[in-house]
Amino acid sequence: MNVHEYQAKAILKEFGVPVSRGVPIMAASEARKAAEELGGPVWVVKSQIHAGGRGKGKFKEATAGDKGGVRLAKSIDEVEQFSKEMLGATLVTLQTGAAGRTVGRLYIEDGAAIDRELYLSALVDRATSRVSFVVSTEGGMDIETVAHDTPERIHTISVDPATGVMPHHGRAAADALNLKGDLAKGMAKLLTQLYAAFVAKDMDLLEINPLIVTKDGQLKALDAKMSFDGNAMYRHPDVAALRDEAEEDAKEIEASKHDLNYITLDGTIGCMVNGAGLAMATMDIIKLYGEAPANFLDVGGGATKEKVTAAFKIITADENVKGILVNIFGGIMRCDVIAEGVIAAVKDVGLQVPLVVRLEGTNVQLGKDIIARSGLNVIAADDLDDAAQKIVTAVRDARGKA
C-alpha cells in the first residue's frame, strides 16, 4: 500500500526526521490561508499523486501551465494561482503512464534553500533478508538511470536485524555521500530514525529523493515515497486509514473487499484460477501461445459461490478483457461451486466475450454438468495446454472479425 508524500512526511516527522513545514490542501480556496500560515518568502506547491517524477511532469490541460507538478512560488498570489492551475488537472510523469493521474490534493511547503541534493532509500533486500539502505550523491535524479549509467555512484549498506543501525553504518553512509563533521553525525542519527520508522511501520520501501543539505548545513528529507507491506496492514490501522482510493485501481479495491488476490495487468485474457502457483502457470502459458493475461487472480482455496461471482464480475467489467479463461483444479475448492459462481455472474452481467473453462479435480463431473445444463456458450477444455490454446484462438478469431 502506498501513501502520499505529505502523509509519508508526517510519519517521518513522528520519528524525528527533519522535513519542511507544510499544509496539505484539497481545494484552491484553502491555498491562501495555508501560504499565510507558512509565512514564506518562498513556498513549494507540490502535486500529491502516487507517482514520482512530478517536478519534470507535464499537465494534459493547457490551463494548468507548463511548469511541472512541483513549483516554487515567490508570493502568496502565486501559491494561489498554481493551486488553481494544478488541482483537478491531469499530471503525466515518467511513472504514471500516458493516462496520467488527476491531482486531487496539493502539499504547500515552506521552501528550502538547497546546497546539495542526495539520494537515500531503505528497502527489504530479498537476497540478504535484511533491510538495506541505498545511498548516492546523485540526488534528485531518476535512480534507475544512475544505476544503469554510473553504478559506482550507488552504495548499499545492509543492516543486521540483530543489531539494528550501528555507528559504522552511519560512517559508511557519510563516507559515500562526502558528508563531514556535523553532517556526518547527522547522517548517523538520520539512519537510526529511518530504520526505526521502517521497522515499526512495516514498510516495504522508503525513498527520499532528494535528501538535501540545506544552505545552513542541515540534512532534510525534501521528498518521501513510502510503501507498506499490505499483509501487515491489520496491525497498522493508522496507516490503513491513509489509503487514498482515488489513487488505486477500482477493480483491485473491489477485489480486496471480497478478499480476492487480484492484480490488473495489461493483456486481453481475463483469468480466474485457484492457487497462486496455478495462476502464474496459467499466465505463462497464455504468453507462450502469444497473448497476454489481463489480470492475475487467485480465488483461493475455500471460495464461496458469492466470492466466485464477485471475481467473475470484476473480470467481465474490465473493457480490456476480450476473452476469459477459467482454470480450476478442485482440491479444497469444489468444481461445482466454481460452475455455480460463473453461471450466477453471467446471469447478472451477461457474457460478451468467449469463455473457456477447464475444470479438474473434486466434483469435476458435477461442475461440468452444471455448465452443460446452463445453456451458456462455454468452450470446454481438457487440460491447461488445451485451455490456453482455445482461449487464444477464440480471442484472435473475435479480433479478426472485428
Cell numbers at 96, concatenated: 504514471
Q: List alpha helices for 258-334, DSSP H.
A: 276-288, 305-316
3-state secondary structure of 235: helix
- Is 268 a binding residue for Mn ion by CB under 5 A? The answer is no
Q: Name the binder of 111 from ligand GDP, Mn ion, none, CB < 5-8 A by kind.
A: ligand GDP
Least spacing, CB of residue 210 vs ligand GDP, in Å: 5
- Single out the catalytic residue among 5, 85, 207, 340: 207
Q: Which is nearer to ligand GDP, 98 or 402 (CB)?
A: 98
Q: Name the binder of 222 from ligand GDP, Mn ion, none, CB < 5-8 A by kind.
A: ligand GDP
Q: Which of 211, 206, 205 is nearest to 223 (CA)?
A: 211
Question: Which residues are annotated binding-site positions for Mg(2+)?
Answer: 209, 223
Q: Name the binder of 138 from Mn ion, ligand GDP, none, CB < 5-8 A by kind.
A: none
Q: What is the CA radius of gyration of the chain?
A: 25
Q: How far is CA 44 from CA 108, 133, 246, 338, in A?
A: 6, 28, 23, 53
Q: Which is nearer to Mn ion, 223 or 291 (CB)?
A: 223
Question: Which residues fall within 8 angstroms of residue 95, CB to CB, at 6 or more apart?
Answer: 51, 52, 53
Q: 335-349 and 364-374 helices cross at what angle (nearest 10)? A: 20
Mark residues 146-185: x for contact with Mn ion by CB under 5 A, - for none.
Answer: ----------------------------------------
Question: Which residues fall within 8 angstroms of residue 6, CB to CB, at 6 or more apart?
Answer: 22, 24, 46, 48, 105, 107
User: Which amino acid is present at 322?
Assistant: K
Least spacing, CB of residue 206 vs Mn ion, in Å: 13
Q: Specify whether 207 is catalytic.
A: yes
- Is 282 a binding residue for Mn ion by CB under 5 A? The answer is no
- Is 223 a binding residue for Mn ion by CB under 5 A? The answer is yes
Residues that bind ligand GDP (CB under 6 A): 20, 44, 52-55, 70, 72, 109, 111-112, 114, 117, 140, 209-210, 222-223
Would you call 369 exposed, middle or buried from its count of C-beta atoms within 10 A (0-12, 13-18, 19+)?
Answer: middle
Total residues interacting with Mn ion, rule: CB under 5 A: 2
Residues of this chain that interact with Mn ion (CB under 5 A) are 209, 223
Active-site residue set:
119, 207
